[in-house]
Amino acid sequence: MPRQLRVQFPGAIYHVTIRGNGRDDIFVNDHDRERFLRRLAESLETYGVRLYLFCLMSNHVHLVLETPRGNLSRFMQSVETGYTVYYNFRHNRTGHVLQGRYGAKLVEGNEYLLNLSRYVHLNPVFVDKSKNLPLKERIKTLRNYRWSSYPGYAGDCREYEIVTSGPILGLMETRKNRQRREYRKYVESGAAETDEEFLMLLKKTRLGIGGDEFREKIGELYQELVEKSQKPEDVVFRHQIENISAEEILGLLSKTLGLETEWFKEKKRKSGLRPLAAKMLSKYGGLTNRKIAEVLNIRSGAAAGRAITRLDKVLDCNRKLKIFLPEIEKKLAKKAEDKR
């Protein structure tokens, strides 16, 4: 049976689930969880994805995210491949760590997104070791669960830097200074029993979470594979960002740094120019590693990927590039916005 195609478009919101191979655990200890979040942060930054919320369980992960560039597949490949390589090396093993393919359902905005956020955040209190606890203890477990974005949403601790909570908190019909308090009440009101109606909705379709009209539109997109000619409902907080051509990116780098364009295509030891160009081509040009390799005369896509990963270390040693990077990113972000 062929794999289900991914419906992808700029501004799409997804509920993503990642599961362990054979339902095995994917985290042995907290070090693994921390490493997963670091890899997630790197991929969010590289691919321009916005993470609304997350919850890490022992053998699966929930992510709710938005893809302004319509690049879910590339983003998830980066997350899963990076973590698998780490996990196998760390635990001296080989083979698959994660189940064959991640799950991804498109999400309609407003009440469906809000309901989904409650479902995801309540995961820790519906596992076997917690679901039979008294309600007071279950809520305490929920508030103290470190590997979820919920404590930050509820105002119990500082939010993870990788989380963008504003859009979902903004769905609470109250003043801004009361949103976290109201969100806490909303989520914890569901700690007593599962929302069977919403669980049925989750199982209703493979493609999307939303009303009949939304799911019909997603079905049309899936059948026709016209990702940009039609968009589901327009939610005000969705960002759509157009890719910038490789020529424009290299031209901007050249002008900002006062260098010839060819300098970014030359292999020079300890030079940060090619890693910088590779990162900008990926982040603002939407290019694959293989295409970046072609543009910058790098021998392979894998080598281009390593160049991108190496940029942070290079910047630590190259004060000039580190100073110019914020200016470069600001200009590229503006150029992308101007293309909308």
Here the CATH number for the domain that contains residue 313 is 1.10.1750
* Domain shared by 124 and 25, yes or no: yes
DSSP class of residue 3? Answer: P
Type of residue at 161? E
Half-sphere exposure of 64 (CA within 13 A, CB side): 26
Is residue 311 within 8 Å of residue 275, measured between CB atoms?
yes
Find the mean pLDDT for residues 149-155: 94
* Domain shared by 197 and 300, yes or no: no
Which has more pLDDT, 91 or 216?
91
Q: Is residue 255 scored above 80 in pLDDT?
A: yes
Is residue 56 within 8 Å of residue 104, measured between CB atoms?
no
pLDDT (0 to 100) of residue 17: 95
pLDDT (0 to 100) of residue 271: 80
* Residue 90, phi-psi category: left (phi > 0), alpha (psi -120 to 50), beta (remainder): alpha
Find the mean pLDDT for residues 275-289: 89
* Domain shared by 60 and 146, yes or no: yes
Q: What is the pTM of this model?
A: 0.70
Residue 230 lies in a domain: no
pLDDT (0 to 100) of residue 197: 63
Find the mean pLDDT for residues 29-51: 96
* Domain shared by 91 and 143, yes or no: yes
Find the mean pLDDT for residues 242-269: 88
Count of domains observed in the chain = 2
Mean pLDDT, all residues of the chain: 86
Type of residue at 1? M
Q: Is residue 117 scored above 70 in pLDDT?
A: yes
Please name the residues in contact with 63: beta carbons below 8 A apart, sequence gap of 6 or more: 14, 15, 16, 17, 18, 40, 51, 53, 54
Find the mean pLDDT for residues 152-167: 93
Strand-strand pairing, 60-67 and 12-19? antiparallel
Structural domain for 136, as ranges: 12-224
* Domain shared by 215 and 294, yes or no: no
d(CA 255, CA 276): 14
Last residue of a domain, one of 194, 224, 254: 224
Task: Calculate ∠ Cα 197-200-201, nearest 5°.
Answer: 90
* Tens-digit pLDDT profile for residues 182-232: 999 999 988 877 666 666 667 666 778 887 777 777 777 777 643 443 344
Residue 79's pLDDT band, with cuts at 50, 70 and 90, is very high
* Tens-digit pLDDT profile for residues 290-339: 889 999 999 888 788 888 888 888 888 888 888 889 999 899 988 887 76
pLDDT (0 to 100) of residue 238: 59
* Tens-digit pLDDT profile for residues 42-72: 999 999 999 999 999 999 999 999 999 999 9
Half-sphere exposure of 285 (CA within 13 A, CB side): 22
Half-sphere exposure of 57 (CA within 13 A, CB side): 23
Please name the residues in contact with 96: beta carbons below 8 A apart, sequence gap of 6 or more: 21, 84
Distance from chain centroid for Cα 325: 23
d(CA 314, CA 322): 9
Residue 33's pLDDT band, with cuts at 50, 70 and 90, is very high
Residue 236 lies in a domain: no
Find the mean pLDDT for residues 267-286: 87
pLDDT (0 to 100) of residue 142: 92
pLDDT (0 to 100) of residue 198: 65
Last residue of a domain, one of 224, 259, 294: 224
* Domain shared by 212 and 282, yes or no: no
The token pair at 242 is 């157009």
What is the domain-level CATH number for residue 79?
3.30.70.1290
Please name the residues in contact with 3: beta carbons below 8 A apart, sequence gap of 6 or more: 101
Residue 150 lies in a domain: yes
Residue 104 lies in a domain: yes
Burial 194-216 (b: 16+ CB within 10 A, else e): eeeebeebeeeeebbbbeeebbe
Only one residue has tokens 């004060």, namely 319
* Domain shared by 111 and 157, yes or no: yes
d(CA 18, CA 271): 37
* Domain shared by 293 and 211, yes or no: no
The token pair at 91 is 């635990």
* Domain shared by 23 and 153, yes or no: yes
pLDDT (0 to 100) of residue 230: 39
Residue 29 lies in a domain: yes
* Domain shared by 257 and 142, yes or no: no
* Domain shared by 214 and 258, yes or no: no
- pLDDT above 90 covers a percentage of the chain that reads 49
Residue 234 lies in a domain: no
Last residue of a domain, one of 176, 193, 224: 224
Residue 232 lies in a domain: no
* Domain shared by 157 and 294, yes or no: no
pLDDT (0 to 100) of residue 239: 58
Residue 6 lies in a domain: no
